[in-house]
Structure 1
């Protein structure tokens, strides 16, 4: 265990050092970029009369900082990643440094002012705690009591990047089908925008309803819950008789600091980061950058304030907290040191030294989702003091006016769609989804009774 912690400490120090170098370099790039923009447009124009009676204009321009920096890079033959910050500070105008300082402060501030904004927004309905009843239903299910009626069609809506996860919700769908229940996984392009998927879901729900004659129960995970809520908000007049309830599972209804911290404008390296993401999402994954933008606090505030989520159907918001125990975090370190020793590699005519062929080879391996979620959850805990499942904070997952389920279990963001039956003494994702649907059915019955009384 001591060796694992030592390796984890070394890895953390290495990552921290590289990150600080990256931030410093971006700060200097911003300073150079601001200076170059400043040089392109004269700031002050003064008129002076020459001796021959004509008027001439003079423009005051800042020093050529970019040339000086480029020269230093050439002299050093690109051997250093960072520049001399003192020399740049001496040559950059003070008001430009203030602009860079503002961007740096915005970067460091991050999402501190946005997390949990829904709980303080005026006019938002209160939430109700349904955790106790959920745990009772879950216990009954584990004891063999299955009460889900066949009078509904159960629709599972996957989240962001689910198109690249072939096992997403598959175990849950099979579990429901074995019980004789009509269950489907929504076929939507997970990397599309929220409004695009809302339209797709509207059409999908209508097809299911007209084909089966049964109302649809919705359960959306992560962005899938946002897409489903958007479909109800935008097309409620068409769907009010076709949808019986909605459960948002680990959904960033208020937004997520992960998306906002990456895409926030006006911070250090915002243009570079966006360019990289556009290449990955649009070119490599063939998606839409708006899929990630729609999960930022700015976009969520804009959408929620403009489109009201109907509250006359059963609503559940489910959130959890990921484990950040040392054992889970250490998994990352163990995998990072995975190596195949004495691996004989084929040369295929290339000039490769025998020492390289026989010395062993570092092989790329996939990091377990639990380890990645634990690292992200630790990051959000240390930076913002917020509990999360790794991607969504608990406060941002609570939908105003919904029944909130807060299970007393450590579950990361990927657990609800990928977990399997490993420990027979603990519930798995299939049983959890069944309990959520069962709670939706109960809430629907309660609402109908209240309407009948009124």
Structure 2
């Protein structure tokens, strides 16, 4: 432990007097250096406490340097905002003769007390007193400046991370609608509802002259019933329907290449054009295939439906992966990377490709072809208490209870999870969503947009609910209506051309 000599108070008083240029009432106004006295204490005796003061400054310097190293990331990241970039270690021997470093502001040079005393000696009548005063002042600056710098840097980092965390994706949601270069959308909700009503009455208009390719979304490899019901009903109507067997947790560009190969294979085998319907990330993958390989596919594809796809980006993915947030303290990005790569055997880039930053970059370089007939489907999830009792049928479990295996449904409360996410996005950003994708980000520029009033969450499109309302259309019928609308849009484009 160290102690401050009582004359340190006199030293502080002397420095304040020198800075103010005047003395307090009743005190003599003496120069900072020279042979005068302060309160009848000779200057030679006044500075005998400087070695102890330097030891104290060295101790404080070492302590603050150690604490500062714990927050080095923040001092580096936010050190360019008017604070020193480099700090020189301050050491002091027992005699106080070792140089004491001074931390200066950017644009100035960090100098030692020996340099300061040398420059002072040229204009001072007493070099010894001046050098001692310089060391004392430098020690005070160092001990105060280092602690203040690290404290300010640390709290600036915390404040900035808190601001980024609270602000989140507020500036990114809906950027497609704000971009003047993007083409406008057309509302096709009325036409969709009419088609859906006809389907409910047994009127089906999908032609068998096309091949229908369903592209599943993220984590579809772990959902054995993903799109299965839709494919089964399409096949019963005599339609050629396929589910793209892609690794949905792969990057968008990798899946785009695989979808291109799917399309070419289907066209080669059937000599028919392909109509695509992609759900969630599947819509992004399908759109990327057409954007990247349109010269090779323009004679093979009749149109594209993007159902609940984060075409503009996803606030969920962006908020999880955005750097500089409070979540960095628990390495949220690293945890997500481990879960996707080790547990799900996927690629973290699959999630990165859904962030606003990546979507803006990709669409800038690879927009959808204007001549491609496109329909986009966006929905809003219900957040009522009744949705908590909704269970989604996601798989079958075969149990050998008798001579034949008995299939039991595997259910999950996906509706409740989607409702919780939708409420979070509503409270945080004031945006309506299906639980994962905001309504405005699901509307593709230049497309015919379907905006149903019925509350449908993100999982409903692929997993049926155990408590479905009999009079309401199921997911297969909704997919049929979307594709029928797309056929009509494609026919209109051909007539206009």
Stretches of structure 1 that go unaligned for 5 or more consecutive residues are: 1-27, 66-88, 333-364
Work out whether residues 215 and 241 of structure 1, in 8 Å CA contact, stay in contact via their aligned partners in 2. Answer: yes
2:377 counterpart of 1:318: yes
SS at match of 2:183: coil
Partners of 2:385 and 2:356 in 1: how far apart? 31
Q: What is the Cα deviation at residue 170 of structure 1?
A: 0.3
Partner residue, 1:123: 181
Partner residue, 1:241: 299
Partners of 1:181 and 1:367 in 2: how far apart? 31
Partner residue, 1:166: 224
The match for 1:212 among 265, 270, 276 is 270
Deviations 1:298-336 (A, max 9, x none): 11111111111112121000000000002224779xxxx
2:463 counterpart of 1:418: yes
Work out whether residues 30 and 269 of structure 1, in 8 Å CA contact, stay in contact via their aligned partners in 2. Answer: no
Work out whether residues 30 and 268 of structure 1, in 8 Å CA contact, stay in contact via their aligned partners in 2. Answer: no
Correspondences of 1:151-230 after superposition (within 5 Å): 151-230=209-288
Work out whether residues 259 and 296 of structure 1, in 8 Å CA contact, stay in contact via their aligned partners in 2. Answer: yes
Partners of 1:244 and 1:209 in 2: how far apart? 11
Stretches of structure 2 that go unaligned for 5 or more consecutive residues are: 1-66, 89-102, 104-109, 119-134, 392-409
Deviations 1:89-126 (A, max 9, x none): 98942133112211110110011111101001121100
Distance change >3 Å, CA 231–CA 29, structure 1 → 2: farther
Partners of 1:247 and 1:450 in 2: how far apart? 20
Partners of 2:354 and 2:487 in 1: how far apart? 29
Distance change >3 Å, CA 91–CA 52, structure 1 → 2: closer
Q: What is the Cα deviation at residue 61 of structure 1?
A: 7.6
Partner residue, 1:47: 112
Task: Normalising by structure 2, report the TM-score.
Answer: 0.69
Deviations 1:421-442 (A, max 9, x none): 8322110000000001111111
Task: Normalising by structure 1, report the TM-score.
Answer: 0.75
Distance change >3 Å, CA 224–CA 52, structure 1 → 2: closer
2:428 counterpart of 1:383: yes
2:78 counterpart of 1:32: no
Distance change >3 Å, CA 120–CA 50, structure 1 → 2: closer
Q: What is the Cα deviation at residue 224 of structure 1?
A: 0.2
Partner residue, 2:167: 109
Partner residue, 1:440: 486
Deviations 1:336-384 (A, max 9, x none): xxxxxxxxxxxxxxxxxxxxxxxxxxxxx97500000000000011111
Structural RMSD (CA): 3.1
Distance change >3 Å, CA 30–CA 290, structure 1 → 2: farther
SS at match of 1:153: strand
Q: Which of structures 1 and 2 has the larger relative contact order (alpha carbons within 8 angstroms, sep 6+)?
A: 1
Larger Cα-atom Rg:
2
Partners of 1:120 and 1:29 in 2: how far apart? 43
